[in-house]
Chains A and B, each alone.
Chain A
Amino acid sequence: MSKLASESTTSEPGRAGRYRAPASRMWWLRRRSYVLFVLRELSSLFVAWFVVYLLLLISAVRGGSDSYREFLALSGQPWMLALNLVALAFVLLHAITWFNLAPQAIVVQIGGRRLPAPVVAAAHFAAWAVLSAIIAWILVGAR
């Protein structure tokens, strides 16, 4: 089998033979909307970082009051605070873009009529506010 033929069978079905203009690795710097798109996609890295941070915190708490105090000192270091502030900005971008896009993914029908998109988005923002308030109440109230 020639190289060309083997490539066309291993590439995505239905795509074989179609010409695709090569895109540069920096294609996303060309427009503001592309940059925003890539920033939104990168937010997932910071969601994953939050999971790592949370699990480190929980294992420190589980490890006793000394290890909890050590973790608090570490998380108060300027570089750690800076990292968490950047992560917070990305996580907020994720939340806001997610709720704004929700009406396109979720179709709610009431009495045979489709609920307008702003109502679906507003319901998500309201749920976000309620859950955030509950989390703040638990964590600040736990002090």
Chain B
Amino acid sequence: MTKRSSSEAAAWLLFSAGGMASALMVPMLLLLLGVVFPAGLLVPPEHADLLALLDNPLVRGVLLVLCVLSLLHWAHRFRYTLFDGLQLTRLRTPINLLCYAAAAAGSAWAAIILLG
């Protein structure tokens, strides 16, 4: 019992941290990188400039933390969307496993790309 509730508390804390980090940073990043630059509303950054930006350890660290926390936020919230939204409470364990395995895989991918 205590083991379960403490892991739920950790999941909730990481969900909150991810919710906060993504709410603070994702809207502007997505607006610029996903809409404004691709649509040609502003000239996109040059390749060399982005490469220089990604050479900065602070930028890489912030992006890695943002990616990992955002994925943990997704894993926690989405499993409850499935339990409650679709009334899939019986599939709780496989849904938990799948969501957190996906978040772990995404975090590993982020670490390889950003730290490699």
Contacts and interface: CB of A to CB of B under 8 A. Distances in A.
Interface string B1-26: 10000000000000010111011111
B77 A44 contact: yes
A139 B25 CA distance: 13
A109 B35 CA distance: 40
A140 B32 contact: yes
B81 A47 contact: no
A57 interface: yes
Nearest to B59: A138
B54 to A, nearest CB: 6
B97 interface: no
Indicate the size class of the contact surface on chain B. Answer: 35 or more
A143 B54 contact: no
Contacts, number: 160
Contact of A44 (B33, B47, B78): B78
Contacts of B18: 47
Contacts of B46: 142-143
Nearest to A22: B87
Dominant SS at the B interface? Answer: helix
A44 B74 contact: yes
A132 B27 contact: yes
Contacts of B63: 54, 58
A45 B28 CA distance: 17
Contacts of A25: 86-87
Contacts of B38: 72, 75-76, 80-81, 84
Given A41-B85, A98-B20, A87 B78 contact: no
Interface of A: 13, 22-25, 27-28, 38, 41-42, 44-45, 47-48, 50-55, 57-59, 61-62, 64-65, 68-69, 72, 75-76, 80-81, 84-85, 87-88, 91-92, 94-95, 98-99, 105, 127-128, 131-132, 135-136, 138-140, 142-143
Given A50-B22, A80-B38, A81-B34, 19 more contacts: A42-B81, A48-B78, A50-B29, A50-B30, A51-B74, A59-B113, A62-B113, A64-B47, A65-B48, A72-B37, A76-B39, A84-B34, A94-B22, A95-B24, A99-B23, A128-B23, A135-B29, A142-B46, A142-B49
